[in-house]
Structure 1
Amino acid sequence: MTPVRPSLRLEKSLFAAGRVTVIGVDEVGRGAIAGPVGVGVAAVTLDVRRVPQGLADSKLLSPARREALVPVVTRWARTAVGMASAQVVDEQGIVAALGLAGARALGTLVHEGVSLEGAVVVLDGSFDWLTRALAAEHRPLDVQVRVKADRDCASVAAASVVAKVARDDLMTAAHDDAPHYAWASNKGYGSSAHYDAIRAVGPHELHRKTWLHAASSVALDGFEELDSVGG
């Protein structure tokens, strides 16, 4: 599959409408049965330069290409990644976990000096899971959802890359303590080897235990269904 090249068309239209900062947001790990959910953010301002060469939705890039893009992307935009654990997914549901991870990522940007005044968030997808998770002082932040923004919007594509690499690195590191689950290759998703290991040795503390009985039937795009499974 040839990656779709994202552009700055949307960001420039938002700047023309008076926005000062555009923050692309994308999630990773939503459909996994083990490990955290992660949310990447990438903030660009009026002085943003041309899109980094080779940038695309992380799902359309090889692991090596994603890794190589991270230092390029972090020089091009202000980025952060927030995580919410499997325990949070089990106790609060996937929607709340995504919101928590996103709020943490935005909080890191603010801590590092990115102002949210005059900012707009472009959130990949069709459902706003972020707004209700924001701290009270950040709730006026405008969140705009956009289907497949990770494919055509450069800031969101950048967010997808940093989030994917950060979560993959975490799951690869976890593999060393529990190699039978094959997390280095499946990254916590439900591969045959992963399910075989669960049947053989039982679940790990990184597993979303409330998901295991229904994991094969979870609809990755159905937030209401996911929330009921995760809650």
Structure 2
Amino acid sequence: MMTPVTPTLRFEKALYRDGVTSIVAVDEVGRGALAGPVAVGMVVIDTGVKRIPPGLRDSKLLPEPVREALEPACRRWSLFHAVGLASAEEVDSLGIMRCLGLAGARALAALEEQGAEVRDSTLILDGNYDYLNPALMRPARVVTRIKADRDCASVAAASVIAKVHRDRLMIGHDVDYPGYGWVSNKGYSTPEHFAAIAELGPSALHRLTWLKDLATLDMPT
């Protein structure tokens, strides 16, 4: 088994050396879920050398209890942090890529409401596609980086914060929409989740456009 990569601040420090004065790290969670919102997490870090929270990894590489324990340290480590959401209904209406941008724009607005000076920041975006700029009122300086959530400590912190935030929302919905197993699946594809959809039909949390091709699903009228 390969040892998980420990994220560092090497990429962030290289940006600072190139003249960047403020960094906002960005990562999304819930993109591939069948139900629930897509979430985009953002953290603002400063130019000083700060000790990375011990055990920090991309949220996908961490067991749920470890993420929960690490999330407060990620919030303390960042200057500002926010999570923006786009609902399942919006995903059905607008498509996932536009909703990633929408959720990102909401996270950026939340940072500004907290007092973060992000207008001239450089945004490190995990992946190879800039979904943010099409959704913003003014152009942003976006640097895309594949595996940024694995390699960049700031993006890994954004990943943990967003993942824990979304997971808690889905767990809370177990009372509102029981029977789907949100506590365990968080809206993602599992055999138990598919069985629940087949028995109960889709809930208000489901992305109906993502379910329409399931031949076994009895869609209500």
Query: What TM-score does the superposition give when structure 1 sets the normalisation length?
Result: 0.89
Q: Which runs of 4+ in 1 moved over 2 A?
A: 213-216
Q: Are positions 1:161 and 2:163 aligned together?
A: no
1:23-102 alignment runs, 5 A limit:
23-77=24-78, 78-102=80-104
Whole-Å separation in 2 of the counterparts to 1:10 and 1:215:
42
Residue in structure 2 matched with residue 177 of structure 1 by the alignment: 176
Q: Is the 8 A contact 2:26 2:125 kept in 1?
A: yes
Whole-Å separation in 1 of the counterparts to 2:101 and 2:115:
21
Q: Is the 8 A contact 2:25 2:125 kept in 1?
A: yes
Of all paired residues, the percent bearing the same amino acid is: 53
Unaligned runs of 5+ in 1: 217-231
Return the offset for 1:196: 0.9
- Equivalenced residues, count: 213
Q: Are positions 1:188 and 2:187 aligned together?
A: yes
Return the offset for 1:79: 1.0
Whole-Å separation in 1 of the counterparts to 2:118 and 2:197:
43
Whole-Å separation in 1 of the counterparts to 2:49 and 2:209:
43
Task: String of CA shifts for 1:87-136, please: whole Å, max 9, x gaps.
Answer: 00000000111101011111111111111243100100111111111123
- Secondary structure at 1:211's aligned position in 2? helix
Amino acid at match of 1:10: F
Return the offset for 1:17: 1.0
Whole-Å separation in 1 of the counterparts to 2:83 and 2:213:
28
Whole-Å separation in 2 of the counterparts to 1:37 and 1:213:
19
Return the offset for 1:215: 6.7
Residue in structure 2 matched with residue 16 of structure 1 by the alignment: 17
Whole-Å separation in 2 of the counterparts to 1:59 and 1:20:
29
- Secondary structure at 1:65's aligned position in 2? helix
| More displaced stretch, 58-67 vs 114-123 | 114-123
Query: What TM-score does the superposition give when structure 2 sets the normalisation length?
Result: 0.93
Return the offset for 1:158: 0.4
Return the offset for 1:48: 4.2
Whole-Å separation in 1 of the counterparts to 2:213 and 2:81:
34
Whole-Å separation in 2 of the counterparts to 1:151 and 1:85:
26
Q: Are positions 1:152 and 2:154 aligned together?
A: no
Whole-Å separation in 2 of the counterparts to 1:215 and 1:123:
32
Amino acid at match of 1:184: V
Residue in structure 1 matched with residue 200 of structure 2 by the alignment: 201
